[in-house]
Amino acid sequence: MKQHISHMVRNRADQFGEREVFRFRQSKSKIFSKLNWNQLIPETNRVSKALISLGCEHESMIGIFSENRVEWTIADLGILAIRGIVVPFYATSSAHQAKYIIDETGIKVLFVGNQEQVIKANWLIDHCETLKKIIVFEDGDCPRDSRFMSWQDFKSLGNDSGLNSKLEKLLEDAQPEDLATVIYTSGTSGEPKGVMLAHENFMYAFKIHESRLNVTENDVSLCFLPLSHVFERIWTYNMLYCGAINTFLENPREVIETLPLAKPTVMCTVPRFFEKTYDGIQNELTIWPGYKKKIFNWSIDIGHQMIEFRKDAKKAPTNLRFKYKIADKLVLSKLRGVLGGNFKSMPCAGAAINPKLLRFFHATGLFITYGYGATETSATVSCFRSDIYDFDTCGSIMPGIDVKISTEGEILIKGKTIFKGYFKKPEATASVLIDGWYRTGDQGRLIRNEHLVMVDRIKDLMKTSVGKYISPQKLELLLGQDAFIEQIIVAGDNRKYVTALIVPSFENLRIYYKNLGNEEVNNETLIAMPEIIEMIKTRIDQLQQELTPYERIVKFTLLPEPFSILNNGLTNTLKVKRNLLLQKYNDLVEKMY
């Protein structure tokens, strides 16, 4: 088998035949339809031949601008089979963000999803010189314009058997070094950069994941993170590699209600998923009677005791195992049931996670395979092993990957998963790829030369006016665990003390305010209340007791609106745009000094 995704997929189809490969919903249906391996290859072949009929060929740049759906991956695989290069767009990208990428890559054909993207595509095709054809996944959303084509009409172009030989020739000529995709990093600041990843990068990633993660053909995954991001994309490919079933979810906001229906055994996630789930559990706990709270807390405590043995691959004492069975029956299994009840592991990356949160979910019996990686490294660099792991790290270095720490404390990575460079940006490439080592821009350290700890982005580290270095991430994780703090940005670079911009949890804040006997008020009025400010200050001071004085947040300002993708406060992967937000709220920051 060639080290090429298209050959891998055909090999697996020969192996698995009538077995399911994808589950998906059609239109607004709540029932999942199924696609098997024998159906998948003809579908992707039709896409490939239709693209050939439109003049696409080896190294053609082809875009996908859509929410998650089965057509996304079928289009993706169809593009790869003609040795084309897939350029994904976040479904929430603005028309101007998409234009930058289309103009730089010279995309001629663009697949789009729902009406939201069709509207943007209508503008793009008028303003992008190279863009000639839009393929619309939702047939009912396709405009009556010769430049647009419905998914079904497009696939009918691939029924021409005369194109079979051209497709077979392209497949025969496919090489491991073929560029598979250019993924534009959303970034928290600066100009977007297109990360070039080849088939050999992905194929090697599958190999090392196979030796670390126990995913088999019997597993079911739920695809809810954006396919435009390297994490969900490589995970989807990896499910094909392992012969597992992948279930597509278009609306990520429906993930909690979908989990009991889809009952996945594995699913890649981001820390925000667990933060929101934990908050939901804690809010539910507040309305329980005292005796139920005691049972809950006892059960979680037993779970915490158990994971101290599990993380070191040690057998727990008999009496603890007996107590754990009771705790599991009373509480822990029910918590897992909220998430479908079938999970054996949940890979998690993309941002820092509070170790206390990791321990809590591990205590419930959910194994979060926390890790570290980047688009430039084909995702995973390190992650928890299934036997021995350390909650205060980002897991163990993946097999076949070399990691070292520079004299400046920067994480450097080398291996066959490292990207080929930034598209049309040789200077940016040269600045981060030196002698085969990728300079991540992250500060970190290695424990026992195996467990990786990521401290913070080097450019985010702050130095106070008295010369003390501070990690904003450390403070934000610490304070972010408070039930009344939803989001936080720490400031203080070249300042005499540290400050913070805080978005409170308005749901919890309103409950607290109402319990004081007050009437309902709007967000702006609520955060201006002296008793609210004093309450949050007291909680912050308690959380900071063990910090050195220069690390502590001295002043803070409450904000009335959460950071979101829509207001440009978060990237598409839910990372806070720190520098942009500090600029936006500069006047508020200045007032604290």
> Residue 556: beta bridge partners?
500
Do 498 and 574 share a domain, yes or no? yes
DSSP summary character for residue 550: G
CB atoms within 10 A of CB 33: 11
Q: Tell whether 490 and 353 lie within a shared domain.
A: no
Pairing of strands 109-112, 61-65: parallel
* Helix (H), strand (E) at residue 81: helix 70-81
Residue 540's φ and ψ, nearest 5 degrees, are -65, -45
What pTM, to 2 d.p., does this model score?
0.87
**Beta strand residue intervals within 357-401, DSSP E:** 368-374, 379-383, 396-397
Classify residue 330 by its DSSP letter: I
208: Cβ–Cβ under 8 A, 6 or more apart, which residues? 380, 398, 399, 400, 401, 417
Q: Is residue 276 part of a domain?
A: yes
pLDDT of residue 188: 47
Are residues 409 and 505 both part of a single domain? no
Give the ranges where 243-313 is alpha helix by DSSP (H): 255-262, 271-285, 290-310
Boundary residue ending a domain (458, 491, 516):
458
Joined together, the tokens standing for residue 120 give: 């943007």
| Torsions phi, psi for 198 (to 5 deg) | -100, 165
Tokens of 358: 């990791």
Looking at the structure, tell me whether residues 383 and 521 fall in a common domain. no
| Domain at 544, CATH number | 3.30.300.30
> Across-strand partners of 327?
none
Predicted pLDDT of residue 574: 74
- Spans of the chain below 70 pLDDT: 1, 27-28, 186-190, 466
What pLDDT was estimated at residue 190? 61
Q: What is the DSSP string of 493-504?
A: TTSSSEEEEEEE
Adjacent-strand bridge partners of 23: 34, 247
Q: How far is CA 152 from the centre of its chain?
A: 30
Helices and strands (H and E) in the chain: how many = 22, 26
Last residue of a domain, one of 134, 153, 174: 174
146 and 28 together in one domain: yes
How far, in Å, CA of 355 to CA of 189, rounded? 27
Query: What's 373's domain CATH number?
Result: 3.40.50.12780
Is residue 410 located within the same domain as residue 465? no
**Which pLDDT belongs to residue 362?**
97
Residues 567 and 579 in one domain: yes
Instruction: For residue 151, give the CATH number of its domain.
Output: 3.40.50.980
Do 523 and 448 contact (CB within 8 A), yes or no? no
**Integer angstrom CA distances of residue 511 from 419, 518, 519, 521, 534:** 49, 10, 11, 12, 16
- Residue 68: count other Cβ atoms within 10 Å of its Cβ: 24
CB-CB contact of 227 with 572 (8 Å)? no
The enclosing H or E element of 511 equals helix 506-515
Domain check: are 277 and 387 in the same one? yes
The reply to whether 452 and 480 lie within a common domain is no
Is the residue at 204 inside a domain? Answer: no
Residue 97, in any domain of the structure: yes
How many angstroms separate the CA atoms of 124 and 182, rounded?
A: 19
Query: Which residue's entry shows tokens 């998906």?
Result: 24
Query: What CA–CA distances, in Å, run from 278 to 26, 53, 338, 534?
Result: 31, 51, 12, 25
Amino acid (one-letter) located at 238? N
DSSP string, 126-149: HH-SS--EEEESSGGG--S-TTEE
Per the domain annotation, does 183 fall within a domain? no
Q: Report the C-alpha gap between 23 and 511 in whole angstroms.
A: 40
- The residue among 125, 154, 174 that closes a domain is 174
pLDDT given at position 272: 87
Residue 206 lies in a domain: no
Q: Which residue matches tokens 């094909």? A: 240
Is 88 a domain residue? yes
Which structure tokens are listed for 403? 């990691």
Q: Quick one: pLDDT at residue 382?
A: 97
pLDDT value of position 186:
64
Side chain identity, residue 74:
I
Total domains, the chain = 3
Contact 442, 401 (CB under 8 A): no
Q: Is residue 81 part of a domain?
A: yes
Residues 6 or more apart whose Cβ sits within 8 Å of residue 173:
58, 83
Rounded Cα distance, 533 and 556, in Å: 9
Q: How far is CA 324 from CA 4, 318, 319, 327, 343, in A?
A: 46, 10, 9, 5, 18
How many CB atoms lie under 10 A from the CB of residue 139? 11
Question: What separation in angstroms does the CA of 386 have from each of 169, 339, 446, 457?
Answer: 43, 20, 19, 28
Helix (H, G, I), strand (E, B) or coil at 86: strand
Burial 396-433 (b: 16+ CB within 10 A, else e): bbbeebebeeeeeebbbbbbbbbbbbbbebeebbeebb
Say yes or no: 449 and 543 in one domain: no
Q: Is residue 570 part of a domain?
A: yes
**452 and 467, same domain (yes or no):** no
Question: Are residues 81 and 167 part of one domain?
Answer: yes
Domain of residue 527, residue span: 461-591
